[in-house]
Amino acid sequence: MAKRVGVDKWLFGVVLLLVLFGLVMVFSASAVMAKAQTGSPYPYMLRQGMWAVMGMIALALLMRVDYRRYNNSKFVFTAVAVTMVLLLGVFAMRDSHNTHRWFRFGFASFQPSELAKPTLVLFLAYFLQTRIHKMEDWRGTILRAALPPLLFVALILKEPDLGTAMVCAAVTALMLYLAGMQVKYLGIGLLCSAPVLYYMLFRVPWRRARMLAFVNPEADPRGTGFHILQSLIAVGTGGLHGLGLMEGRQKLFYLPEPHTDFIFANVCEELGLIGAVLIIVLFIALGYRGLRAAYLSTDPFARFLAFGITSTVLIQAFFNMSVVIALLPTKGITLPFISFGGTSLFVMLASMGVLLNVTREID
């Protein structure tokens, strides 16, 4: 197959549009809140812009680095070890809202769980590329492939961060299935994880309250159901055309986290169904180009790498949007490229750089 002269320009354009759109919406969603907190409407947008610039630099550099350089045991296991140390080290930091998710350095912060997602994709791509015909060996292949992701998921659950842990678990399952794992092993995995998931959702008091609020948010509209109801109000208020950019009302101290977890609700309110569909179309386009790269790649490592990176973005976007429109219970997970969050944006853009390099090798 002929080697592409350059990277996939459609994929690059979609990523750039998502980032630019995200900067506009972060400013729109955070300006009033930032003005009340700091006296200036720009801090959140400027911080997001700084991370966007650094992320685009990382993307530009990594899309020029041959992805085959990552296909060696020293690089892969070093990445796994560093990520593991960071996931453990975060528990030595002071907690924030009873969670241990960030390393904080003055005005900046770093979230190791964001690094865990591309690291597990890299590990699985390296491990599974030579074991496509050994997927019947559950002990020598499936169990060994699942061990590092399971350790990542366990540490992320301990933080606690159920949303990111579920993204990691879903990506792992999809990559194993792509490699040829039988569906029965997925069923066994679900059965084994069911008690843990039950405990996390129904035996942890604040998560149980979220589940009850998801079923009937009107039962406690000023308490546990507040997030869901305010999000749905924002989505419903937007209608077809929206109220106009910067004209949203729910971000005026009604909708919690309008610039992070619930930024899609702000998009729906200000830009309406048209803006929401535009975002969805951009993610579909990204998914199509990414999965196309995976399908057309003749190198198994590249195929797994492209599939894993693309799946991570799509699954996270699906989770975030589903929470906003009350298809899933509330969980703290960002909308890729759009939500405020420096680590998430930087890691996603760096991952896109790797994916864009993979696209050089296809027609």
3-state secondary structure 137-201: CHHHHHHHHHHHHHHHHHHHHHCCCHHHHHHHHHHHHHHHHHHCCCHHHHHHHHHHHHHHHHHHH
Query: What is the structure's pLDDT at 280?
Result: 97
Region of residue 102 (left: phi > 0; alpha: psi -120 to 50; beta: else): beta
- 221 has a pLDDT exceeding 90: no
pLDDT in tens, 176-207: 999 999 999 999 999 999 999 999 888 888 88
Q: Which residue has the tokens 């949203």?
A: 248
Q: How many whole angstroms separate alpha carbon 256 and alpha carbon 238?
A: 17
Contact 24, 48 (CB under 8 A): no
DSSP code, position 202: I
pLDDT tier for residue 4 given thresholds of 50, 70 and 90: low
What's the pTM?
0.94
Query: What is the structure's pLDDT at 2?
Result: 46
Query: What is the structure's pLDDT at 227?
Result: 87
Q: What percent of the chain lies above the pLDDT cut of 90?
A: 75
Contact 117, 80 (CB under 8 A): no
Contact 262, 355 (CB under 8 A): no
Q: How many whole angstroms separate alpha carbon 280 and alpha carbon 63?
A: 25
Contact 48, 30 (CB under 8 A): no
Q: What is the mean pLDDT of residues 24-30?
A: 96
pLDDT in tens, 67-115: 999 999 999 999 999 999 999 999 887 766 667 788 877 667 789 999 9
Contact 139, 145 (CB under 8 A): no
Q: How many whole angstroms separate alpha carbon 92 and alpha carbon 159?
A: 11
**Residue 257 to residues 104, 176, 213, 332: CA-CA distances in angstroms?**
20, 35, 18, 10
